Amino acid sequence: MSTPEFLAIAGVVLIGAFLQGASGFGLGMFAAPVVALVDPTLMPALLILLATVLTAILALRERAAVNRAGVGWSLLGRLPGSAIGAGLVALLSPQVLALLVGLVVLGGAGLSVRGWVPVVNRRTLMAAGMAAGVTGTSTSIGGPPMALLFQRSDPAETRGTLSVFFLVGSLISLGLLLLAGAVDLRVVTVSAWLLPALLAGFGISRLLVPYVNRNRMRVLAITMSCLSATVLLGQQLWRLLG
pLDDT tens, N- to C-terminus, the chain (242 residues): 899 999 999 999 999 999 899 888 889 888 988 898 899 899 899 999 999 999 999 999 999 999 999 999 999 999 999 999 888 888 888 778 778 878 887 887 787 777 766 788 999 999 999 998 888 888 888 888 888 788 778 888 888 999 999 999 999 989 989 998 889 999 999 999 999 999 999 999 988 777 766 677 667 777 777 877 887 788 777 777 76
Alpha-carbon distances, residue 27 vs 65, 75, 76, 213 (angstroms): 21, 20, 23, 18
Q: What is the 3-class SS of 188-202, one letter each residue?
A: HHHHHHHHHHHHHHH
The backbone region for 183, taken as left when phi is positive above 0, alpha when psi lies in -120 to 50, beta otherwise, is beta
Q: Are 91 and 138 in contact (CB under 8 A)?
A: no
Neighbours of 196 (CB within 10 A): 12
CA 52, 53, 58, 59 dihedral sign is positive
Q: Write down the pLDDT at residue 73.
A: 96
What residue spans of the chain are helical by DSSP H? 3-23, 27-38, 45-61, 68-91, 94-114, 122-139, 143-149, 155-179, 185-208, 214-241
Q: Write down the pLDDT at residue 143.
A: 82
Q: Are 233 and 103 in contact (CB under 8 A)?
A: yes
AA letter at 205: S
Neighbours of 109 (CB within 10 A): 19
DSSP string covering 106-135, please? Answer: HHHHHHHHHT-----SHHHHHHHHHHHHHH
Q: How many residues does the chain have?
A: 242
Angle at 76 between CA 151 and CA 74, to 5 degrees: 5
Q: Are 127 and 77 in contact (CB under 8 A)?
A: yes
Helix axes 27-38, 214-241, angle to 10 degrees: 30
Q: Write down the pLDDT at residue 28.
A: 87
Q: Write down the pLDDT at residue 121.
A: 93
